[in-house]
Every structure is written in structure tokens, then in C-alpha cells.
Amino acid sequence: MQLVQLVSFGCGLDAVTTDEVREILESRHKLYTQIKIDEISNLGAAKIRLRSLIAAISL
């Protein structure tokens, strides 16, 4: 499983789940991607990041 997590904050519950999920996926040699949606004013940037991730997985 690959995971893309969309978050709006990097603290509190997001910080805990981020660390745990990242460790689980990395231990299984899977990709973990986090996109902070509160920092993106242009959703086109998020689409480009997702396309890049899909291309990386496909290799």
C-alpha cells in the first residue's frame, strides 16, 4: 500500500499519526507522502505532486 495523507495542520493528532504511519510504511519499503493543504493556495500544485508520485510508483 502507498499512502497520500492530506493534512491541514502539522501538530496534535496529525503529528502522532504521521510519525506512526510513516514508520509502518517505510519498514515495508512503501512510499508515504504528506501534502499540507493549508499551505497550498493553488490546487494545481497538489495535482502535480500526485502525478509525480504516481510516476515514481510506476517505475
Q: Which residues contact 2 (CB under 8 A, 6 or more apart)?
A: 25, 30, 31, 32, 33, 53, 57
pLDDT at site 10: 62
Per-residue pLDDT for 4 more than 70? yes
pLDDT at site 33: 85
**Cβ 7 vs Cβ 18: under 8 Å:** yes
Summarize pLDDT for 7-59 with one digit per residue, the tens: 776 667 777 888 888 899 999 998 888 887 775 667 787 788 888 888 888 87
pLDDT at site 28: 92
Per-residue pLDDT for 3 more than 70? yes
